[in-house]
Amino acid sequence: MTISLVEGSFDALIFDCDGTLVDTAPAHLRALQLALEPMDLTMTAEWYYPRGGLTPDALLDDYEELLGRQGLPRKEILERYGVAFQSLVPQIEEVAVIAEIAREWHGRVPMAVASNGERPHVEATLRVTKLLSLFDEVVAAEDVKQGNPAPDVFMEAARRMGVEAGRCVVFEDSDEGLTAARAAGMRAVDIRGYFDPVREG
């Protein structure tokens, strides 16, 4: 299956990063598992994958709720997670069906990446898959007040490109991201109908 876009029906394209342009979920999960190991805690694939669209902080909020305990040393966990994830970046591959859309429209319309992820991770994954140079703008979690499902990252991407929100098409793979794109008044494409990754624990 392919995604067809009609020229003239939009002025800009916005892509989520994790799970949309690049298949990073297994690396994120493994990095979180490694970060939690020193505390004798674990995170299962079954629990993690449905929450892949959350920011790291929101994910840990849910995890604390699962454990029934508050006050995990979040700064330490996130630091270990960041180091572990960067070590796994070389294993990450593009999501071909979506990356091809970016290549096809590069130079024809403005394009941005808008992600709930942190900039070092977003740029590292786009760099290793040789996709970074396709985009005019990269908006990450640090650039906005609220992550998905708030519309902030998509609104900021449109603002930076100088394009009206209603003339943007967004590619997303999570419920939170699709909600955010629609809240921004943008046309949202759920890529899960075109990309079905195999997930292992």
Q: Taking the alpha carbons of 93, 110, 191, 50 in that order, is the dihedral positive or negative?
A: positive
Calpha distance 73→2 (Å, rounded): 44
143 is annotated as an active-site residue: no
Q: What residue has token string 């979180």?
A: 32
Element (H, E) at 139: strand 137-139
Calpha distance 155→17 (Å, rounded): 16
Alpha helices in the chain (DSSP H): 25-36, 45-48, 56-67, 74-88, 96-105, 119-128, 152-161, 175-183
Of the candidates 16, 18, 23, 152, the residue annotated as catalytic is 16
Are 126 and 113 within 8 A, CB to CB? yes
List the catalytic residues. 16
